[in-house]
């Protein structure tokens, strides 16, 4: 379970226990159910990380909702995360976190095409070998907090935990021309274990 869960989980458990102590079983049950959902939301299951060289793995669990190509040949792959998906984010490649930029913005629903451009987000640039890619942690209507646990200059490993988005969101991956995508719109991916591209 992601450590950020405890700031929500411990108060809920404490209030649930107090409710039982003061003879309020209905409230206690509601609080304990909410605590159970919180633990479920912040879960961090073990993942088998592919070790074959040249692969790019998904930074998040969810569904691929859009793939677009820019004039410079880069491709953007957008992954929508519902509140039922795992919400920890992982590095797609081995490399260095070259840059981390926070962008203030709106809180449109995460599946809105404008969300990637106008919503609050963290923009991470990761460089490894001949590959430099961008991961965007995009806030949504419900997800209003994007967290990156790494600092610029720090090394990252493929599949390593790098952050979290709270309560439903979107993650965009912008890959350079030298990466061939291996997923399509509608595919479901798992952070750290699903291969979304390969260097060619």
Cβ pair 106, 96 in contact under 8 A:
no
Active-site annotation holder among 58, 169, 193, 194: 169
Told to judge if 91 belongs to the known catalytic residues of this protein, a careful annotator would answer no
Cβ pair 163, 137 in contact under 8 A:
yes
Tokens of 63: 């569904």
- Active site members: 169
């Amino acid at each position: 379970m992601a450590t950020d869960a405890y700031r929500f989980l411990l108060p809920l458990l404490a209030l649930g226990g107090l409710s039982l102590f003061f003879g309020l079983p209905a409230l206690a049950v509601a609080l304990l159910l909410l605590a159970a959902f919180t633990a479920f939301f912040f879960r961090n299951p073990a993942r088998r990380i592919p070790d074959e060289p040249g692969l790019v793995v998904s930074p998040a669990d969810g569904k691929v909702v859009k793939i677009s190509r820019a004039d410079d040949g880069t491709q953007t792959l957008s992954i929508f995360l519902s509140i039922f998906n795992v919400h920890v984010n992982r590095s797609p490649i081995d490399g260095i976190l070259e840059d981390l930029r926070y962008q203030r913005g709106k809180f449109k629903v995460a599946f809105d095409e404008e969300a990637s451009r106008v919503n609050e987000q963290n923009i991470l640039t990761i460089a490894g070998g001949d590959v430099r890619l961008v991961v965007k942690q995009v806030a949504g209507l419900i997800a209003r907090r994007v967290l990156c646990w790494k600092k610029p200059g720090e090394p990252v490993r493929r599949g390593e935990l790098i952050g979290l988005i709270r309560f439903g969101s979107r993650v965009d991956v912008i890959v350079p021309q030298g990466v061939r995508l291996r997923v399509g719109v509608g595919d479901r991916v798992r952070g750290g274990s699903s291969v979304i591209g390969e260097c060619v």
